Amino acid sequence: MADDRPAAPDAVERFEHMVEVAGRAQQMMLEFWTREGTGPVAGTPAFDGLSRMTDLWADWARAFASADPARLARLSGDYWTDALMLWSGMMAPGQKPAEPVKDKRFQGDAWSEAPVFDLVRRSYLLASRYVMEAVGSFQGLPPEEQRKLDFQAKQFVDAMSPANFAALNPEVLAEAQATGGESLLAGLSNMLADLKRGKLTMTDEKAFTVGGNVAATEGKVVWEGRLFQLLQYAPTTPQVFETPLLIFPPWINKFYILDLTPQKSFIRWAVEQGLTVFVVSWAQGSEALKDAGLDTYALEGQLQAIDLVLQATGAKSTHVIGYCVAGTILSATLAYMQATGQAEKVKTATFFTAQVDFEDAGELLNFIDGPTPETIGQLSEGKGYLDGRYLATTFNMLRPTDLMWNYVVNNYLKGKDYVPFDLLYWNSDPTNVPGRFMQEYVGGMYSRNLLVQPGGIHIGGVPIDLSTVQTPAYVQAGRDDHIAPAISCFKLTKAFSGPQRFMLAGSGHIAGVVNPPSAKKYQYWVLPEGEKTPATLEEFREKATETPGSWWPDWIQWLAPQSGEKVKARVPGKAKGFAAIEAAPGRYVQERIA
């Protein structure tokens, strides 16, 4: 007999509320597509970068033709055996199969409390393991193609996680039930806003202001040109070292990664050590810079900035730091200066996560193939620059679970509010890059590895030979760097012929650099004083001594004896010809991609 009793009032109210939420969601979607059309979605870097991964089906189809049939058959049989054991274990009363490998995506109790979601979780982890093993069964493939297939398989496996789908994620369903569907509506609003912007939002960007609570170290812009502004920071000590410090940040990101909060600022800390600190703040890529290539950043950028610092301080030489791509080009600039009799202008060179030999350049190689430079040309055609959001999406795809899907789940599926985090704010502030430079950099370095070949590239018509560089060098690498792997950065020690100190820092591309002593985090490895750098990174690891905490004190202990006598502190804006133009951090760094 049917139950004709009326539903409880609260159940009716919940149902009515869910209907209302569904209607509001439908209205939001209708307004978005009416207002924006398909252009802002299909044409955005975030969409286009992800859509390229669909090419993996064609790649896999070709690769499976070369697979070992016997191994594939064995893997298939093993998978079905394990899958049946999983199902039988889940169905047997009072029994459960062994707990799979811990995975932070499924740490919540909801994944194991309900049998259906426990089965979904375990089935996914089992299938993922066999997918990765199957990719390893291909035979006779070139190493670069096998590497690309491994990378694509990992991207596919991460994307297919049940945590990324609302109907398969018990935490998402619980949140929706608890909020009457409002969490899904908030997530939809977040997603539509990101589609319009063309990039994934990771943090509350309204919580930060460049020049306010980030990039706030006191200083002045003392020179500017079409390519960069030169910033000089105010001293905090009555005397400073005679030799100044000039920092070249990468122009594919903004310099304030080295000047986040006061507690994390490398720039502020360097000033406190008694250094006169200058920083180059690069201009956004624009049509006005469409002619900017390797030569431009080496000569009009780095060499000109070196000359300006020497003029502003009256010093005979300067220390320089090159971070990431700026370090790569700095190596070529130093070789050019050696060849043209200008090497004495640089006292020492420090390299933060910089590569010169790209043979082991890591997972970024998976995005590089023959047509890539032409593709960059197409993406920058008509405007002269590559939209920085393409690069940001590419870097995020190197760690998709942490830098993409984590935010999809929290902000789109659960509708969570964005949490303020200065590092993620910087990461969400990408920079446009001149198309010509990107073509030359990707084609010359990643595709053809020309920089380590004597005469492989020319700067200002001069053939570049890194082995001629005798400038003392401090080479930093990050143990867990996913952008510039430690094994690749280590090769810089073999490129130069001068004295050097190699240091391996704990953590990765950013945290391995931005690790102030006050944080008391991570560790670093160096060789005993005076010991020669070995031939391989493996040998270095065996001989090196581990020290807990920040490596910054080790760097200043290396730098200070090479910095000359102490002189009266230099005040920015007071040197002849270098009057203050505006307060740091200047206009260039505050320009954001619309």
The stretch 495-519 carries a mean pLDDT of: 96
The stretch 301-328 carries a mean pLDDT of: 98
- Give helix 9-36 / helix 182-197 axis angle, nearest 10°: 10
Give residues with Cβ within 8 angstroms of 505, minimum separation 6.
476, 477, 478, 479, 512, 513, 515, 522, 523, 524, 551
Task: Answer whether 468's CB lies under 8 Å from 338's CB.
Answer: yes
What is the structure's pLDDT at 583?
98
What is the structure's pLDDT at 245?
98
The stretch 453-475 carries a mean pLDDT of: 97
165: pLDDT strictly greater than 90: no
- Residue of 255, 270, 274, 322 lying closest to 475 (CA atoms): 322
What is the structure's pLDDT at 45?
44
The stretch 553-575 carries a mean pLDDT of: 97
Task: Answer whether 514's CB lies under 8 Å from 260's CB.
Answer: yes
pLDDT > 70: what percent of the chain?
Answer: 84
Q: How confident is the model at residue 438 (pLDDT cuts 50, 70, 90)?
A: very high
Buried b vs exposed e over 446-458: b needs ≥16 C-beta within 10 Å? bbeebbbeeebbe
Phi/psi at 150 (5° precision):
-60, -45
Task: Give me the active site residues, please.
Answer: 324
- Residue of 48, 126, 115 lying closest to 85 (CA atoms): 126
Virtual torsion, Cα 192, 197, 201, 206, nearest 10 deg = -110
**For the segment 514-532, what is each residue's pLDDT rounded down to a tens digit?**
999 999 999 999 999 888 9
Q: What is the largest CA-CA distance in the chain?
A: 99
What is the structure's pLDDT at 140?
66
What is the structure's pLDDT at 29?
52
490: pLDDT strictly greater than 70: yes
The residue that leads in pLDDT, 453 or 28, is 453
The stretch 344-350 carries a mean pLDDT of: 98
Give residues with Cβ within 8 angstroms of 470, minimum separation 6.
338, 343, 496, 497, 498
Q: How confident is the model at residue 126 (pLDDT cuts 50, 70, 90)?
A: confident
**For the segment 229-240, what is each residue's pLDDT rounded down to a tens digit?**
999 999 999 999
30: pLDDT strictly greater than 50: yes
What is the structure's pLDDT at 266?
98
**For the segment 379-408, what is each residue's pLDDT rounded down to a tens digit?**
777 788 888 888 887 777 777 788 788 888
What is the structure's pLDDT at 559?
98
- Residue of 366, 378, 405, 47 lying closest to 197 (CA atoms): 47
| Two structure tokens written together for 411 | 């902000």
pLDDT > 90: what percent of the chain?
Answer: 54
Q: pTM of the prediction?
A: 0.84
Phi-psi region of 341 (alpha: psi -120 to 50; beta: other; left: phi over 0): left
Highest mean pLDDT: which range of 10-24, 53-67, 136-150, 580-594: 580-594
The residue that leads in pLDDT, 147 or 66, is 147
**For the segment 259-295, what is each residue's pLDDT rounded down to a tens digit?**
999 999 999 999 999 999 999 999 999 999 999 999 9
CB atoms within 10 A of CB 220: 21
